[in-house]
Chains A and B, each alone.
Chain A
Amino acid sequence: MHSRKPFYILVALLFLAGVAASVYRGIEHNVPFLPGEQVQSWAVDAKVSFQGTGEPAEVKFSLPNDPAFEILVENATSPGYGLTIANDSSGRHATWSVRQARGQQDLYYKVTLVPTGKTQVIAQAEPEAVEYNWPATEKAAAEQIMDEVWSRSATNLSFAQQLNKSFNASDRSQNIELLLSGNSAANLFVQMLNSKGIPAKKVNGLFLEDQRRRQQLTTFVEVYHQGEWLLFNPADGSQGRPDNLLIWDRTGKSTLDVVGGVNSLVSFSMLQDTRSALATSIDVLKNKDALDFSLYQLPLEEQSLFKGILLIPIGVLMVVFLRVIIGIKTSGTFMPVLIALAFIQTTLLTGLVGFLLIVAFGLMIRSYLSELNLLLISRISAVIIVVIGIIGLFTLLSYKFGLSEGLTITFFPMIILAWTIERMSILWEEEGAKEVVVQGGGSLFVATLAYLAMSATWVQHWVFNFLGIHLVILAMVLLMGQYTGYKLLELKRFKPLAGE
């Protein structure tokens, strides 16, 4: 006997691969593990306005670039303007251009964002501090402050923290008051850090609050510390990133540049929205053009086809379990799965009633056919035609009586029904009505359980969105194929032998 080790390794690999693929899909692609999950999204409108001077105008506007928010949809409305959206060394930006702009000009940019929860800003490369030359009037005061704070700090980070603190202390030193009278706090903060060789830059952020209009960007300072950019707000002395902050512009340069216009300004309005987590992650994946094995790439018709097909492994697993582990007899190995698939279309009760009606009618007609002494093949064919007739009749009748449930009866697989009727009929003749009830009941019981498993919304969600689950099912089916223990019903059958 050969070793079973490779088999168990295969099963373990399938299982692990399936679980890993599902977890990856859940975490990396943000596909929700439960159906019906909702996520928040933000719709932000930026309005850029300026006065045209009659000259050719070019408007360069920075666009959001924040790992904490994923862009779902973005578009710009600007009649008469040429628009380019580019992502280059100066960051992501939109450029509107027009040959002649006169009077009030309004340009709109709309974006829908979803929070990703990745609030850390990782630096791609080690940045360099930009040397700043202090004006003679400020040099002495600035150096005094820096030396004083430097002596109270141990690292770059603690220097920034201490500096932030002294900017906002209630009893600010004369030197700081002097410098702040001529500079903004953010500028001064960046300059001082840069002078000490600590990389820092200004960024612009937008506070997201539901139903706000005419909002402005707030200036923050990012300080580089051990591969990461940390956020400071020297205007109020706070440190760290507020949850509802969207970092709009990280270039450290101006957010809006207008050539050929005056009185330019940008204002923001925003709206919070909840949407399905699943739809959101599908949209995000489509935007990314990522290598994606999701079935959402297929046309809708094929998608709905696959939604049905991918339920079959669940039904098959159920049948294998009930036959191998429990020991229930069914007529036809996978007939219950096909019946269960039909139940999904008809719903359980209508399906059961319809199935029993068709089979009962079919058996009656089949008993007449058996007197006619026909060849098997023509008898089965006759039963198929009769089954179609019965289905047609029931559909018509239920339509006439206004029972819309009855119309779904057409979803039953006719060939399967015909064979079921034939087998039941033979079983009846050979082993009596009791065995028909036992095997038919067993099949219906298995079909019902398979239906219950297949119709659970979270099962449908999982089999379609986490394809890795099918590898897990495969591993389980293989494993059950190795089960040499007793079936549950054997424990009852062999009870007299248990030696009690």
Chain B
Amino acid sequence: MFLARPQALKAQGILGMNKRNIDFIGRYNPRKYYKRVDDKLTTKQLALANNIAVPALIGTVCQQHEISHIPEMVNNKDGFVIKPSQGSGGKGILVITKVDNGHYFKPNGNEVTPSEIDRHVSNILSGLFSLGGKPDVAIVEGLIQFDPVFDGYSYEGVPDIRLIVFKGFPVMGMLRLSTAASDGKANLHQGAVGVGLDIATGKGLHAVQFDKPIDFHPDTDKKLTDIVVPHWDTLLHTASKAYEMSELGYLGTDMVLDQQLGPLLLELNARPGLAIQIANGRGILPHLRHVEQMKNKSMSVEERVAYAKTHFSHSACS
């Protein structure tokens, strides 16, 4: 059969787009807090105020005439990342991994000319990447020295860890690995590999690319389910803390592992995608229902993480 039966998906607890929008985003994410996650600069400032580690901020560009300051800003850096503060879906992120005497290079070795950088930043400021074309701010961030633990698992990009946090409980996680097909980006719809992670241990369980299950990384041929994400407890705690910080009930947290700094919060997402279910090979709905039934018991971050590890692990049945 070409299509799955709706009853079969329902029995597996698969969350659909319409249900996510109405029953979770619409109900648990108050509109007034969206700015905290849609504007990455605000997220960064909030995170710093809440003692959550984030990538270093090199500077911001708010006006067209400030674009000329970029070379000074990145003068003595090895690499940097330029991103629109209000970009969505990973749009408009420019990663420069090598700065060599006024020449800039992308992770794949291609050179980016200064005028291309100028145009990119100008596009960001004009609002090309923001929702509704609102004028935006460009953020220049330090390059993440990503943890060598993922060497061979990611092609030309930073692997990031997505955790879905529902009312403060991390309920599902996945590791996103960039591929040649995704052009070094970690977005699943662009061809990145998603590896479902066990909430209790951070161990890889199941992997997909383009919504199809795979076992080996398409570029490096390493077995994907062998991955164990280090600093797993810190990641869970950071994600859980993001709930208090953003006050959004249904939240996607994106984190990266830095060699020196450990887990860093990259961004938050008030409308996290549904592909995480495919990466985990199971539906998220039973976990969400489980948390909903707990009513409003107030628990600390530690209690929530401990609860999630015992109840939302793959080995535990919910």
Contact = CB atoms under 8 A, between A and B. Distances in A.
Most buried by B among A327, A482, A494: A494
Interface stretch (B148-156, B259-267, B277-285): B277-285
B93 to A, nearest CB: 10
B118 A1 contact: no
A192 to B, nearest CB: 77
Interface stretch (B17-25, B162-170, B172-180): B17-25
B27 A1 contact: yes
B6 A486 contact: yes
B269 interface: no
Given A495-B4, A499-B11, A490 B128 contact: no
Given A375-B64, A487-B17, A497-B277, A492 B9 contact: no
Most buried by A among B17, B19, B118, B128: B17
B123 A499 contact: no
Contact of A483 (B18, B122, B123): B18
A376 interface: yes
Contacts of A302: none
A373 B118 contact: yes
A497 B18 contact: no
Nearest to A376: B126
Contacts of A373: 115, 118-119, 122
B18 A495 contact: no
Interface in A67-126: none
A374 to B, nearest CB: 8
B122 A492 contact: no
Contact of B12 (A327, A431, A497): A497
A496 B212 contact: yes
A499 B12 contact: yes
Contacts, number: 87
B18 A485 contact: yes
Interface string A471-498: 0000000000011111110111111111
B78 to A, nearest CB: 25
B4 A492 contact: yes
A28 interface: no
B177 to A, nearest CB: 18
Contacts of A377: 126
Contacts of B14: 486, 494, 497
Contacts of B278: 493-494, 496-497
Contacts of B212: 496
A494 B211 CA distance: 8
Interface in B188-213: 190, 208, 211-213
Contacts of A498: 4-5, 8-9, 12
Nearest to B24: A484
Contacts of B190: 431
A171 interface: no
A500 interface: yes
Nearest to A500: B8
A493 B211 contact: yes
A324 interface: yes
Contacts of A301: none
A376 B128 contact: yes
Contacts of A289: none
A476 to B, nearest CB: 15
Contacts of A327: 17
A496 B3 contact: no
Contacts of B8: 498-500
Contact of A488 (B3, B91, B277, B283): B3
A370 B12 CA distance: 47
A430 B126 contact: no
A408 B23 CA distance: 46
Given A484-B22, A490-B16, A492-B3, A376 B127 contact: yes
A497 B123 contact: no
A23 interface: no
Interface in B243-284: 277-278, 281-283
B26 to A, nearest CB: 10
A484 B10 CA distance: 12
Interface in B128-145: 128, 133
Interface of B: 2-6, 8-9, 11-12, 14, 16-19, 22-23, 27, 64, 91, 115, 118-119, 122-123, 126-128, 133, 190, 208, 211-213, 277-278, 281-283
Interface of A: 1, 324, 327, 370, 373, 375-377, 426, 430-431, 482-488, 490-500
19 contacts: A375-B64, A375-B122, A375-B126, A376-B126, A482-B22, A484-B18, A484-B19, A485-B16, A486-B6, A488-B3, A493-B211, A496-B212, A496-B278, A497-B12, A497-B277, A497-B278, A497-B281, A498-B5, A498-B8
Which 4 interchain pairs have the tightest Cβ spacing?
A: A376-B126, A498-B4, A484-B19, A486-B16
Given A376-B126, A376-B133, A483-B18, 12 more contacts: A373-B115, A376-B128, A431-B190, A492-B3, A494-B9, A494-B277, A496-B208, A496-B213, A496-B281, A497-B4, A497-B278, A497-B281
